[in-house]
Structure 1
Amino acid sequence: MMRKIWLNRWFSVAYHYVNLIRDNEDGEAFEFYGTHPNIDHVSLSACDVKETEPQVKGEEYIQFCLDFCRRHGIDLLIPRLHMELIARNIDRFAEVGTRVMVCSDLELLENMMNKEKFYRSLEGRGVVEIPAYRVVRTAEEFAQAYRELTEAGERVCFKPTESEGGMGFRILKQEAGDPLKELYGWVSLETTYEETFRILSSVERFDDLMVMELLEGDEYSIDCLADAAGNLLAAVPRRKSEGRVYDLEYSEELLALSRRIAENCRIPYAFNVQVKYNKGVPKLLEINPRMSGGLYITCLSGVNFPYLAVKAAFGEPCEVPEPEFGIKASYVEQAVRLDRIRSETEISGI
């Protein structure tokens, strides 16, 4: 029996996830459904059926999801958008016969989506080192946080407490550069304290910003696989090197860190731990309770993370091969045709 999997409003890398699941080592057959507000989004090109997703929120979005699952007989939903909202309504999906590949521990999921809450939940537990940080909401609090961190000998950066990837991340450079030279140069993540303070001072309060020590060593994404109970099955550290180059490295320190996180947090299925070294110590950046953007690179280790996560979500045992380490990898753009899959309109014959 061919099972149906739906991915809602994913990033473009979902193209790789779908193909990794489809080309699984067991020969299991799946039919893939994809939705996105942009019907030409490249993530949909790997799916068998695509549909335009409405840009709605809250209960209206849940109703859309439930209706989609009923209409298509979806067996498994792999959400990216509105994970918390969907997790809070997971019983309603079960009622229509749809499993959801999401962390159902609502407190844990909420914490992981907010860096301040997650850092506080892990502080003092001996799980992972947390960078020095302050959460600020006014220009005066920002100035105080900057002063305290610089006086402690740290370079400083900041990021919104709720954001994905590098959105809102800035490094505070210690000296102003030549504005004209910078205008003709590459766009930079660096800005000055003075300019940031000026902008923040233009409002009475702003959304939470985390001001923290700048971690200046190697950065690692550790892709992790766990069963439905959060028992760790595999972990592969992926080091960001120069440009587009990544190294899949064996590191007992980072593998032990992954085991501690898994034992303490019990995150199911596929998740990603991001750490960066500073002064020889790996410190936590964030944990993403979903498949990471670079997971398809990590799968060069011989572990098919997306497919095995799907098996875990269906409650099936997973035979996980020993990952291969010592791999240097990169990626290239690939041309993809967007006119070879069926839309909902074509299926219905309208």
Structure 2
Amino acid sequence: MNILLTSVGRRSYLVNYFKEALKSLNGKVFAANSIETYALQQADAFTLTPQIYSAEYIDYLINYCKKNKITVLISLFDIDLPILAKNKQRFKDIGVDVIVSDPEVIDICNDKWKTYQFLIQHNIKTPTTYISFSEAVTALQNKELEYPVIIKPRWGMGSIGIYKADNLEELQVLYKKVRNEINGSYLKFESAADADNAILIQECIESDEYGIEVINDLNREYVTTFCKHKIAMRSGETDQAITIENDKLSEVGKSLSKTLRHIAVLDSDCLEKNGDFYVLELNARFGGQYPFSHLAGANIPKQIVDWCTGMKTNQMLTTISANVLCSKDIKPVIIND
């Protein structure tokens, strides 16, 4: 078995996790990205691809898979997911299994307005959200929504374009700022689908942050939920967290699994209000909190490899220990050696 990880960015740890998972099968891990990174060099081989939104992107990946006898492809980046999901059959036709959820699931996760509508529809608590600026202002005037509020991109990633407004003047200024940041970043591509409604105004819940990873098998059946209390964040990604046991968070995870029917890993951020947990967003991929689950005993890369070879779910690979405190580090490296 050979695995191709696309859009690896700086996730060298995932490259190494998958290399370890393939050892017993004598398989190789190939990595792809549009710019050179250290994570690429950790793979057995790597390639630089066209930009994700390039017309040549999928053809390039298909040809690379053929050339290197790739059998499994996994993406590590949100923007990659909808394109791969739509082209899943093309890869299947050449013998490559793309471990990605259905296009409808990816759309719900990437489009935070659809995320909100989905959560409300399935009675999963989430902060009150508006897509209309005027309706949000009216709600604020009627005390149906209170300051501070969060302004964020509808199709957003990391911490790009997320601000807190404490009054109407700030809301007006920051709303324009978010629009400018969307237009000046890669967020403009997905936002082009509805440019006039590309910004959300959301209830601000002052709370510690929590993270869950909802694990489904490749048949979309629920396996487990990993729960964490986030201690520190950096650029919108978990920087330090402690693993916890929490029945309420686990129930949220199970509800998401049963209603969304995703494949493999669903990464979600949650906030706490009056003893209940509110889902903030959904990411249908390995997220920034996964290393903490891995260090606490899980091995989802190995479980995915096992699933792909017809093996059943292994509880040893899908269980974490509680009270494991983990932190990421910054390591300068040379990449042009």
User: In the alignment, what sits opposite 2:209?
Assistant: 219
- The range that moved more, 30-39 or 139-148, is 139-148
Q: Distance in 1 between matches of 2:157 and 2:8?
A: 13
Confirm whether residue 308 of structure 1 aligns to residue 303 of structure 2: yes
Which protein has the larger Cα radius of gyration, Structure 1 or Structure 2? Answer: 1
- In the alignment, does 2:274 pair up with 1:279? yes
Q: Output the TM-score relative to the length of structure 2.
A: 0.84
Partner of 1:88: 86
CA distance in 2, matches of 1:19, 1:273: 23
1:157 aligns with 2:150: yes
Q: 1:200 to 1:86 in 2, by over 3 A?
A: closer
Match of 1:23, SS state, is helix
Deviation at 1:260, TM superposition (A): 1.2
Q: In structure 2, what is the Cα distance between the partners aligned to 1:288 and 1:311? A: 23
Distance change in 2, residues 1:97/1:216 (3 Å)? same
The 3 A distance-change label for structure 1 pair 33 and 318 is same
Matched, 1:319 2:314: yes
The letter of the residue matching 1:52 is: L
One of 120, 134, 157 as aligned partner of 1:123: 120
Structure 2 CA distance for partners of 1:175 and 1:140, relative to 1, 3 Å: closer
Structure 2: gaps spanning 5 or more residues: 184-194, 234-238
Give yes or no for the alignment of 1:256 onto 2:251: yes
Alignment-derived partner of residue 137 in structure 2: 143
| Aligned counterpart, 1:348 | none
- Whether contact under 8 Å (1:7, 1:34) holds in the other structure is yes
Give the superposition deviation at 1:26: 7.6
Which of 43, 48, 51 pairs up with 2:44? 48
Q: 3-state DSSP class of the match of 1:212?
A: strand
CA deviation profile, 1:227-282 (whole Å, cap 9, x unmatched) = 11222223211211146431111101101111111111111112212111133321
* Cα RMSD (Å): 2.7
SS at match of 2:288: coil
Secondary structure of 2:201's aligned partner: strand
* Higher RCO by CA contacts (8 Å cutoff, separation 6 or greater): 1
Aligned to 2:262: 267
Q: Distance in 1 between matches of 2:178 and 2:100?
A: 36
Give the secondary-structure state (helix, strand or coil) at the position aligned to 1:316.
coil
Gaps of 5+ in 1: 177-191, 341-350
Q: Secondary structure at the match of 1:241?
A: strand
In structure 2, the residue corresponding to 1:84 is in which secondary structure? Answer: helix
Distance 1:66 1:320 in 2: 34
Which sits farther off after the overlay, 214-223 or 238-247?
238-247
1:148-187 residue pairs with structure 2 within 5 A? Answer: 148=142, 151-174=144-167
Q: Deviations over 1:57-90 (max 9, x none)?
A: 2642221121111111111111234211211111
**Identity, % of aligned pairs?**
19
Which segment drifts farther, 215-224 or 151-160?
Answer: 151-160
Counterpart selection for 2:293 from 268, 291, 298: 298
Alignment correspondent of 1:231: 221
Q: The residue matched to 1:285 in structure 2 has which SS?
A: strand
Whether the 8 Å contact between 2:266 and 2:283 is mirrored in structure 1 is yes
> CA–CA distance in 1 between the matches of 2:323 and 2:268?
19
Deviation at 1:175, TM superposition (A): 9.7
Deviation at residue 216 of structure 1 after TM alignment: 1.0
Is 1:328 aligned to residue 304 of structure 2?
no
* Per-residue deviation, residues 181-236 of structure 1 (Å, max 9, x unmatched): xxxxxxxxxxx225236658999x74421111012112111122221122222321
Aligned position for 1:64: 60
